[in-house]
Amino acid sequence: MSIRTLDKVVKNCNIYRMMTEDEKRRCELRANMFKALAHPLRIYMLEKLKERPWCVCELAAELGVDKSIASKYLTILKDAGLVGMQKRGILVEYTLTAPCVLNLAACAESDVLSNRKKALLG
Amino acid sequence: MSIRTLDKVVKNCNIYRMMTEDEKRRCELRANMFKALAHPLRIYMLEKLKERPWCVCELAAELGVDKSIASKYLTILKDAGLVGMQKRGILVEYTLTAPCVLNLAACAESDVLSNRKKALLG
DNA sequence: ATAACTGTTGCAAAATATAGAAACTATTTT
DNA sequence: AAAATAGTTTCTATATTTTGCAACAGTTAT
């Protein structure tokens, strides 16, 4: 087939297959994890939690936000499977349960950052 | 200090420091990368681009979306430094430039997924 | 020149995410 | 019992994303 008939081929035939349900689920799962990570302060929270467990009000103070905000961020991270919580008396202690996400965050400073520089320059 | 005076300490003193400008920038950069990844179809695109270069209309067909949508997704991924593009005659060929992001996506199926199961059960 | 094709951009509507304050629960101290 | 503290939830306003369509620009074939 000629290279200039791609759109027509695409519309009339089905050489392009649909996503399977499994693929759909997997991509949604991954996207959900990334969505939880898509906020600067939630990233910062995870970096703090890498050092040691923190309670909500400590993190709220460290981030300079209301405790309701900090609590919501932590809920989002927990639902994404990135942190865990445990009641300790009056406090609620959050801990990092998926340290791998921070290793991968370093990816942003290597490959990705140099790509962006290239993109800006050229 | 007693454990129940945390809030007061937080409000009156400054044992909790502000984020530095450097930390702010780093967290924003990482969050931006994750924002680009925070969409199921963009994840799927990256998986396809891992196999080989694709042009826009092929990816649009594979994903089952309008080419304008596919083009916008690819622009987002490019701005984030995750893919690169190159004109080839009438076609625009996109390639994966930061393969590390897919390794880290696998993180979602190991640590993270098991954490979410635990969270749902317990 | 005209027509067909690839890709990007602009626009408006719909959907989603965020922030801030207040209300609420539960625990601990007095 | 009453007051203070830690944390979650609810509500509303605002901001950001996403989507779908149409218009547009550039390239190639007829």
B83 CB neighbours strand C below 7 A: no
Does B77 share its domain with B43? yes
Does A65 share its domain with A17? no
Q: What pLDDT is attached to residue A1?
A: 31
With a CB cutoff of 8 Å and minimum separation 6, the contacts of B89 are A3
Does A4 share its domain with A24? yes
Q: Is residue B26's pLDDT more than 60? A: yes
Q: From the CA of B68, how many Å to the C1' of C11?
A: 13
Q: What pLDDT is attached to residue B108?
A: 65
Whether chain A has a CB inside 8 Å of the CB on B90: the answer is yes
Does B20 share its domain with B59? no
> Long-range contacts made by residues B89-93, C-beta under 8 angstroms, separation at least 24?
B89/A3, B90/A3, B90/A4, B91/A3, B91/A6, B91/B55, B91/B56, B91/B57, B92/B55, B92/B56, B93/B53, B93/B54, B93/B55
Number of domains present in the structure of chain A? 2
CATH code (residue B116): 1.10.10.10
Q: What pLDDT is attached to residue A42?
A: 98
Does B15 share its domain with B50? no
Does B57 share its domain with B81? yes
Q: What pLDDT is attached to residue A83?
A: 96
Q: What pLDDT is attached to residue B51?
A: 93
Q: From the CA of B1, how many Å to the C1' of D9?
A: 30
Does A106 share its domain with A85? yes
A119 against B75, higher pLDDT: B75
CB-based contact A57 B97, cutoff 8 Å: no
Does A49 share its domain with A32? no
Q: What pLDDT is attached to residue B36?
A: 97
Does A58 share its domain with A117? yes
Question: pLDDT tens digits, chain A, 122 residues: what are they?
Answer: 333 345 444 444 445 677 898 899 989 989 999 999 999 999 999 999 999 999 999 999 999 999 999 999 999 999 999 999 999 989 999 999 988 887 776 776 676 777 776 666 54
Q: What pLDDT is attached to residue A3?
A: 38
Does A48 share its domain with A100? yes
User: Alpha-carbon distance A89 to A110, whole Å?
Assistant: 42
- The bases of strand D with some atom under 7 A from any protein CB are 5-10, 17-23, 26-29
Q: Choose among A101, A108, A118: nearest Cβ to B33.
A: A108
Q: What pLDDT is attached to residue B103?
A: 75
Does B49 share its domain with B30? no
Q: Model's pTM, two decimal places?
A: 0.85
CB-based contact B3 A90, cutoff 8 Å: yes
Whether chain B has a CB inside 8 Å of the CB on A55: the answer is yes
Does A99 share its domain with A115? yes
Q: Choose among A44, A84, A110: nearest Cβ to B27.
A: A44
pLDDT-derived band at B63, boundaries 50, 70, 90: very high
Q: Is residue B68's pLDDT more than 80? A: yes
> What are the structure tokens assigned to B50, written together?
């891992």
Q: Choose among B10, B108, B115: nearest Cβ to A29.
A: B108
Share of chain B above pLDDT 70, in %: 75
The parent domain of residue A2 ranges over: 1-36
What is the average pLDDT across B67-77?
A: 98
